Structure 1
């Protein structure tokens, strides 16, 4: 392996590279390219003679641009390779880097490099341009799209996309020319959104027949496919016990931003021993590396609740029985008094 030097202006950078190192002498400027290949500007309102070397440099730049454009339409030449990822999964609104690199650590003169990034939409086969760079031309068709020119000098043509949207999923193609060679690679970009999850107990009401409901809500997820499972554990058996009855999972609802929401509920008619049990909602989704489990404990009945649910009915029954007994005694007592009165009047009439 030999050490070669790429001269950029007054500085030299030495890198190890298996292959040709395109050299160029260029002066530093504040431009994005870092090299000024245009004729000298006018200073102080007076024009200075343009050296023939500058005119030649401008002519060479135009010729290189024409050559780079011509290479886009030629068959892919051998000798140059780019490394891309077959598939990348990224999260909604993240800043994303779509990889495209030349293996090794090349040292490139970017005046001989051209790159075009394009995207094939999911729902059709047409390709749209995302970013272009060749010669002194640099254009971001997708707002914010960028390729670092410092990285490009080291063979890194990766595409930077700030705040990715769901609509930007698809197949991205990286076409790279290092004159006179050409290579390309593709990456499938999947944009996903993780669900925001909430689990809570909805108290029983007369309307729902004194049932309690455990509610599991998912919001803001993409893609639409998901899976929800229910289970419980008790004080006597802390292991997960699957629940398959009393479950109602509603239809998914599309949000304004293209993500989805859904609600799943578990209906309970808890006996006294069910209070204090823990219930689980287990969610599976493409955006989650593993299933996520949420848990909630069914509140234990407080002493007042126990009084009204157990002692209360007993007291009420006792009161009813007491009233029945009092009524019966009253009827018996009233009947006895009336009979005594009849006997008294009958005795009076006989004596008279």
Structure 2
């Protein structure tokens, strides 16, 4: 009985070996490679695994051929390495395979000091005469970005806006994510706030070595002194980084200086300058008030439904630039129009380049219809007493310069309004350096628009 079992086992073993050899000879073996991408930084040495599974070893080299090919991200494909028996041809400099490993079914390729040009999909094609098998995997070659901020600190008055620039340079591949976050302990704030909606991101620029540069610009305009000490963070996400890179800038909010009533104190006594200033303001206010009353009387005689030309005339255009103009970076220029009743007011912004014979229209703003037609002293209309009324954004399409205009209306004194607006520019140094920004204000009290020019100096 025991001899029968031994005989049966021997027969089963012979059949199994026959079937195994048949499967191998018939090509029932495979090539396996990494399913997940292989990650490496430029300059590192990399081995791309490729194994021959299911074939008995040692292999006879004269029956084995291995071809390594690389498909680049732009779909271009070329041969990297060829092994035929004892003959080896390396198209990629210094790449190699070990014959001792190949005999044992290891067809891995060694690539020293990988470069951006090595990034792509690698295919390992193995022939064990007469059968061929292949597999593929991805090698991701990356370069870590370098991140710099324009300044670790920024000081801004609540009347101004400055920009913070986050430069991300020398990275590969091109895909990168830049986020701006604000961390605040100020009153009414709750920790972290995302600021992506207000940022300006340039198009990636490719360097000669294949890496990329990109710049993100964040406008910072504090609303109150409570924002003093807030921290703005530029956070960068890239496939070369295990964790995000972030750099911080701390905000210092400067106390606003009085714009229209300068008060100078010396030895706790009001100086002559202060007395003169208050007298001047009082006389100006009295004059405007009397003019408003006379205008109101005329309107009462003519009826409320009639239009009037007795509005106060705009008197002065003041430009303020709180930050330097930088090539291809979003910057802000502020313009104040003083002593203005905004009814039927049109503000137009032009630019005149040095070599252009005529100025070119960039953007314009009209006061909303209906404002000021209820009564003569329209500047007392409560719809206009907020610091921000109906902000609108205009963009120039035909002059090839990124321009935005956001108007504000604010009451300075009773019956005296100031129209302020911000012009956001993303200038080109070659085209706009030395150009003039021209602002014109059209008002019913003026036969011709009042205007002012602002020369652009771009770094």
Structure 2 length normalisation: TM-score? 0.46
How far 1:249 moved relative to its partner?
1.8
- DSSP 3-state at the match of 1:150: helix
How far 1:228 moved relative to its partner?
2.0
Pick from 218, 222, 236: which aligns with 2:168? 218
| 8 Å CA contact 2:69, 2:80 repeated in 1 | yes
Name the residue aligned to 1:177.
Answer: 127
1:277 aligns with 2:226: no
| Matches of 2:68 and 2:92, distance apart in 1 | 10
Deviations 1:279-338 (A, max 9, x none): 12222333345544433322476xxxx6x958x95436943555539x99xxxxxxxxxx
Q: Which runs of 5+ in 2 are unaligned?
A: 1-16, 19-24, 281-459
| 8 Å CA contact 2:156, 2:251 repeated in 1 | no
Cα distance change on mapping 1:124 and 1:293 into 2, 3 Å: closer
| Matches of 1:313 and 1:151, distance apart in 2 | 86
Residues 1-352 of structure 1 mapped to structure 2, 5 A cutoff? 78-86=27-35, 87-103=37-53, 107-109=57-59, 111-112=61-62, 113-124=64-75, 127-179=77-129, 181-199=131-149, 200-201=151-152, 203=154, 210-236=160-186, 237=189, 239-244=191-196, 246-270=198-222, 271-289=224-242, 291-299=244-252, 314-315=263-264, 318-321=270-273, 324=276
| Matches of 2:137 and 2:78, distance apart in 1 | 15
- DSSP 3-state at the match of 1:265: strand
Cα distance change on mapping 1:265 and 1:316 into 2, 3 Å: farther
| Matches of 2:274 and 2:127, distance apart in 1 | 101
| 8 Å CA contact 1:204, 1:213 repeated in 2 | no
| Matches of 1:309 and 1:77, distance apart in 2 | 90
| Matches of 2:41 and 2:231, distance apart in 1 | 32
| 8 Å CA contact 1:202, 1:213 repeated in 2 | no
Please identify which structure carries the higher helix content: 1
- DSSP 3-state at the match of 1:240: strand
| 8 Å CA contact 1:202, 1:214 repeated in 2 | no
How far 1:203 moved relative to its partner?
4.8
Cα distance change on mapping 1:324 and 1:175 into 2, 3 Å: closer
Cα distance change on mapping 1:146 and 1:320 into 2, 3 Å: farther
Name the residue aligned to 1:63.
Answer: none
Name the residue aligned to 1:57.
Answer: none
Q: Which runs of 5+ in 1 are unaligned?
A: 1-18, 21-75, 329-352
How far 1:104 moved relative to its partner?
7.9
RMSD over aligned Cα atoms: 3.9
| 8 Å CA contact 2:204, 2:213 repeated in 1 | yes
- DSSP 3-state at the match of 1:163: coil
| Matches of 1:101 and 1:246, distance apart in 2 | 52
Higher gyration radius (CA): 1
| Matches of 1:243 and 1:122, distance apart in 2 | 33
Structure with more contact order per residue of length (Cα contacts < 8 Å, sep ≥ 6):
1
| 8 Å CA contact 1:110, 1:152 repeated in 2 | no
| Matches of 1:247 and 1:291, distance apart in 2 | 19
Cα distance change on mapping 1:77 and 1:94 into 2, 3 Å: farther
| Matches of 2:31 and 2:274, distance apart in 1 | 94
Please identify which structure carries the higher strand content: 2
| Matches of 2:160 and 2:265, distance apart in 1 | 20
- DSSP 3-state at the match of 1:102: strand
Structure 1 length normalisation: TM-score? 0.58
| Matches of 2:85 and 2:273, distance apart in 1 | 102
